[in-house]
Structure 1
Amino acid sequence: MQKPEVTIIIPNYRTVDLTKLCLRSLRRHTNLERVRVIVVDNDSQDASTEYLRSVEWIRLIERPPVPGETGPEMHARALDLALAEVDTPYFMVIHTDTIVINDLWLDFLINRIIASPKIAGIGSWKLELVSRWKRAGKAFETFFRRLFGRKSRKEVLYLRSHCAMYRTDLVREVGLGFFDGDTAGKSLHLALVKAGYDMRFIESPELMKFVRHLNHATMILNPSPNDRKTSKPAARQRIERELESLHCREILADDELDRIVP
């Protein structure tokens, strides 16, 4: 048996069907000898926790709650808990709403990160296709801000935790993880750049040939009453359409994907 090349870290919080789809699609398109999969359950106490206990090919960490922590803090701490166990040359972080769709996905990412020893991480900023109208609206906003002497809002781009792969030794070198009070991955990205390493972004249309990110699916399927954006019926309908396009029913019906074949 070959030694795993990549550790895949997946935080979980409820939404059992999405968790099943994430893991089963990963299993369907991945040689398990090449990866180690660590799932950190953030005290879901629901059917997703019970499901994860039944999956034979993952390492499950059941993380106890921290009083008063926010959702983003919960997510970042879960990543760091798994990161402490990583012993493979590379590791990657994904969300339960990131779905693998192509058998070549792992080779694609590994070939990108080994292209240069200076590359510390690869991934995406926003893994979604932006419509022409949305791009046009952004351009108009920038134009009018400049016209009236207002500064455009400058975004600090960093590899997002919905799909990012890192060189383990370089992350250990800078001595940072994902939890530091900022958005998970932002400070780590900036520290690796400051240390002289490259962080490479993959354009969404290219990366989406291999993986899909169901944007905000975990929040939409498990909505907060105070979040107007993710609690709208239209948001749920969008996710349901995307799930249907990924043949989710077929994958969710295949219980054998949870087992280790002798």
Structure 2
Amino acid sequence: MHRRLVISTIAATALCGTALAGAATSASAAPLAVDCRKVKCVALTFDDGPIADTRRLLRVLKDRNVKATFYVVGKNVQKNPSTVRTAALAGHQIGNHGWDHADLTKLSAAKVRSQLSRTDAAVKQATGKNPTTLRAPYGAHNATVRSVAGRPLVHWSIDTLDWKHRDTARLIRTVNAQTKPGDIVLLHDIHRTTVDAVPGIVNALKSRGYHFVTVDQLFAPGKLPAGKVTYHNRAAYRP
């Protein structure tokens, strides 16, 4: 009798454990990848952070199940490593935007290398991974920058001018009016008005059937070439 009870208890425990393991696997499973060759995709990119308000932006993106790419400034990563870690853990892509937003075309090869390597080190310390893409500050690049980068340079196809026009409603209209499949949108998480605009941008584009992806997802399954500058992926969606 006692032996039967022990066996039954073990079996029940094993069954319960299996069910819990299944539930955990289901809950933690990664979402299915978006195929931007089959659906309309756009990559929202945010430059110059992280700052304190970047945390608010991360909450906005999480609430709407939106993935984005952050081109971070190294010295800001050094000040706010936990914010970058949170972004990476949430599935956002982290890119290199130089150490202190210097115009890389005005620097020697050695100084360009320092700008990038110091930022790489700060991001790796915060997230455990090096950034795989670069966005040159001001979009300024030359042969030296492209050679030293050793990775793809990702720029943008939609310049929202959010740094110039601190107008949330205008920003929502601009992104909605200009976005086409495969676009890379330039935004700045250092401006409150930009963070304020993100819910409206997301709502407007979702209503038009857009999926929000990271830069890498936008070009998947392909890989961007090192040392080349990319502005969009117009070949992604073929209706």
**Which structure is higher in RCO with an 8 Å CA cutoff and minimum separation 6?**
2
Which TM-score applies when normalising by structure 1?
0.32
Greater helix share, structure number: 2
Q: Which has the higher strand share?
A: 1
